[in-house]
Amino acid sequence: MRATTRGDRDLRERNASAWLLPRDDRRFDRGLIDRMRTYRDSDEVDLLIVGCGAGGGTLAQRMARAGWSVVVLEAGPFWDPDADWVSDEAGAHDLYWNEPRIVSGADPVPMGANNSGRGVGGSMTHFAGYAPRFHPSDFHTLTADGVGADWPITYRDLKPCYERLERELPVAGQYWPWGDPHAYPHPPHPVGGNGEVFLRGAAA
């Protein structure tokens, strides 16, 4: 892999296909997949990413916007929200990745199966747009509680990144009153019938 300096024209062309989310209220852009840049097996690119989940997909987008040539290898399909999304867990079974996997390293540990998601978006295909921030105290657990290790950065360092990503994903949720109180760009999802029962019980 190599990092290169691109000409202005090439950079503009790459950026045109790197903004994956519509800027207005349009629905999923079905032509996106057809317009996405492809490469031959013999082409040299700047960056190869394995897995197009929350981390890999975001990294690919950022680097493509910066003008890098990026290829992402993903085991699952490119889901179409208009055709593939369903409103119940049983119907969403096809979105899950239930195959056993192991933790890599010198002493691999089997993790078994879980519904982490398979396809472009990874587990974000069924996370319902809910992504709470870390509490400010999570960044210094050693100092505060004597456990773990302190992060080399603070919540304040990450706050602008949280805000930017919450707008872009986008993230939905109720006003968050704990730690650093904040709102989310989108209102919370409607509560289902069983959730209403739990909500009333918690409020009693």
Inter-helix orientation angle 8-16/54-65, to 10°: 150
What is the pLDDT, as a whole number, of residue 129? Answer: 66
Instruction: Indicate whether 112 pLDDT > 90.
Output: no
What is the pLDDT, as a whole number, of residue 31? Answer: 65
Mean of per-residue pLDDT scores for the chain = 79
pLDDT digits (tens, 9 = 90+) for 78-110: 877 777 777 676 777 777 777 776 777 788 777
What is the pLDDT, as a whole number, of residue 15? Answer: 45
Q: Where are the domains of the chain?
A: 131-204
What is the pLDDT, as a whole number, of residue 148? Answer: 92
Instruction: Indicate whether 62 pLDDT > 60.
Output: yes
11-15, 96-100, 126-130: range with lowest mean pLDDT? 11-15
What is the pLDDT, as a whole number, of residue 95? Answer: 72
pLDDT digits (tens, 9 = 90+) for 149-197: 999 999 999 999 999 888 877 788 889 899 999 998 888 888 878 888 9
**More confident position, 68 or 37:** 68
Q: What is the rounded distance in angstroms from the CA atom of residue 5 to the CA atom of residue 183?
A: 39
What is the pLDDT, as a whole number, of residue 36? Answer: 76
What is the pLDDT, as a whole number, of residue 20? Answer: 45
pLDDT digits (tens, 9 = 90+) for 135-148: 999 999 999 999 99
> Is 177 in contact with 185 (CB distance < 8 Å)?
no
Q: Which long-range contacts (CB under 8 A, 24 or more apart) does 136-142 make?
A: 136/179, 136/180, 137/179
Range 30-47 average pLDDT: 81
Q: What is the rounded distance in angstroms from the CA atom of residue 73 to the CA atom of residue 75?
A: 7
Instruction: Indicate whether 10 pLDDT > 60.
Output: no
The most confident of 21-30, 34-43, 44-53, 79-88, by mean pLDDT: 44-53
Q: Is 3 left (phi over 0), alpha (psi -120 to 50) or beta?
A: beta
Residue 53 DSSP one-character state: S
Q: What is the rounded distance in angstroms from the CA atom of residue 35 to the CA atom of residue 178?
A: 43
What is the pLDDT, as a whole number, of residue 173? Answer: 85
